[in-house]
């Protein structure tokens, strides 16, 4: 099954009107070098309107970094409903990023609810899964991945993964400069795909599984060369257009 590479930039809580403009200008100007790769940027929510205008006419997708777990709008101060993200031009939304899980107490159940609400609104969820260093050292990587994915599968069913992306992000590799080896990434990706295949082989073969965790221009090609790695979720390196587009070019060259 041929899966189109997807390279997604998670800007986290970074950016300003000025830097967003130069970042998108840089990405757009180099976009033709990676025409076969799908490109996604996920700015902070307050900048969605600005970035939507900046990407207008360019093959760059817009995504949210987070979404409310509520299916109805209303009295949820500080939250953003999935339909609002959709209205602002988002086609994707990140759910279950490890920073949301660790710093904001998002449980597997909350992440599963967000996934479901996002899909109902027409967004493609980018579901982040990943183990901590302690869990890896205790040989619990597969247990954690199965638990995190299982919570979503139990809530929405495997059919929902026909319109979803998964990002394997080992927590110990995020923002640390320490990357999983291509072998470690491939093993985790194959395990995740296998969990889906046990329920539906066709959907398992079509779902894109991104790797995230200190992807840089100099390690992207090796990571992306693995059979079950379909692109990357990029944090730090997505804030420099040259680095981000070099990573996109590495995907294009596969
Ligand atoms: C991320 O936040 O999803 C991420 C992978 O960050 P970094 O690339 O900076 O490790």
pLDDT at 183 over 70: yes
Question: Is 234 close to ligand 1, i.e. is its CB under 6 Å away?
Answer: yes
Note the pLDDT tens digit of each residue in 44-67: 999 999 999 999 999 999 999 999
Please report which confidence band the pLDDT of residue 124 belongs to, taking 50, 70 and 90 as the band edges: very high
How many angstroms does the Cα of residue 99 sit away from the middle of ligand 1? 10
Q: Give the residue-averaged pLDDT of 217-234.
A: 98
Question: Residues of the chain with pLDDT > 90: what percent?
Answer: 97
pLDDT at 2 over 90: no
pLDDT at 121 over 80: yes
Q: Is 36 exposed, middle or buried (0-12, 13-18, 19+ CB in 10 A)?
A: exposed
- Domain 6-252 superfamily per CATH: Aldolase class I (3.20.20.70)
Question: Is 63 close to ligand 1, i.e. is its CB under 6 Å away?
Answer: no
Assess whether 97 carries a catalytic annotation.
yes
| DSSP annotation string for 38-82 | EEEEE--GGGHHHHHHHHTTSS-EEEES---S-SS-SS-TT---H
Note the pLDDT tens digit of each residue in 82-114: 999 999 999 999 999 999 999 999 999 999 999
Question: Is 175 close to ligand 1, i.e. is its CB under 6 Å away?
Answer: yes
pLDDT at 108: 98
Question: Is 131 close to ligand 1, i.e. is its CB under 6 Å away?
Answer: no
pLDDT at 212: 97
Give pTM, 2 decimals. Answer: 0.98
Question: Is 54 close to ligand 1, i.e. is its CB under 6 Å away?
Answer: no
Catalytic residue, from 97, 99, 131, 189: name it. Answer: 97
pLDDT at 80 over 80: yes
How many angstroms does the Cα of residue 129 sit away from the middle of ligand 1? 13
Q: Where are the domains of the chain?
A: 6-252
Closest residue by CA, ligand 1 atom 4: 235
Closest residue by CA, ligand 1 atom 7: 235
Q: Give the residue-averaged pLDDT of 154-173.
A: 97
Q: Give the residue-averaged pLDDT of 175-180.
A: 89
Catalytic residue, from 38, 135, 169, 189: name it. Answer: 169
pLDDT at 1: 67
Question: Is 212 close to ligand 1, i.e. is its CB under 6 Å away?
Answer: yes
Q: Biggest alpha carbon distance in the chain?
A: 48
Rounded to the nearest integer, the mean pLDDT of the chain is 97
pLDDT at 211: 98
pLDDT at 249: 98
| Pocket probe mutation, ligand 1, options 96, 215, 244, max atoms within 8 Å of Cβ | 215
Question: Residues of the chain with pLDDT > 70: what percent?
Answer: 100
Q: Which atom of ligand 1 is nearest to 214's Cα?
A: 10
pLDDT at 125 over 90: yes
Note the pLDDT tens digit of each residue in 130-141: 999 999 999 999
Q: How far apart (Å, rounded) are the C-alpha atoms in residues 251 and 233? A: 12
How many angstroms does the Cα of residue 95 sit away from the middle of ligand 1? 14
């Amino acid at each position: 099954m041929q899966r189109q590479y997807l390279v997604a930039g998670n800007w986290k809580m970074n950016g300003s009107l000025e830097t967003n403009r130069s970042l998108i200008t840089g990405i757009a100007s180099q976009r033709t070098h990676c025409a076969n790769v799908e490109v996604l940027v996920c700015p902070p929510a307050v900048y969605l309107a600005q970035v939507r205008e900046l990407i207008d006419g360019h093959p760059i997708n817009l995504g949210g970094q987070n979404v409310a777990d509520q299916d109805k709008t209303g009295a949820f101060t500080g939250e953003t409903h999935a339909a609002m993200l959709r209205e602002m031009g988002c086609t994707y939304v990140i759910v279950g990023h490890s920073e949301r899980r660790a710093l904001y107490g998002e449980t597997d159940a909350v992440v599963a609810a967000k996934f479901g609400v996002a899909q109902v609104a027409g967004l493609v969820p980018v579901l982040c899964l990943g183990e901590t260093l302690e869990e890896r050292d205790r040989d619990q990587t597969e247990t954690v991945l199965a638990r995190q994915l299982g919570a979503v599968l139990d809530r929405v069913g495997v059919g929902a993964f026909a319109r979803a992306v998964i990002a394997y992000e080992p927590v110990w590799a995020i923002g640390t400069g320490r990357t999983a080896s291509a072998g470690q990434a491939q093993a985790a990706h194959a395990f995740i795909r296998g969990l889906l295949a046990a329920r539906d082989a066709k959907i398992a073969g079509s779902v894109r599984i991104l790797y995230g965790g200190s992807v840089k221009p100099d390690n992207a090609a090796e990571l992306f060369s693995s059979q079950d790695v379909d692109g990357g979720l990029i944090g730090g390196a997505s804030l420099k257009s040259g680095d981000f587009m070099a990573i996109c070019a590495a995907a294009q060259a596969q």
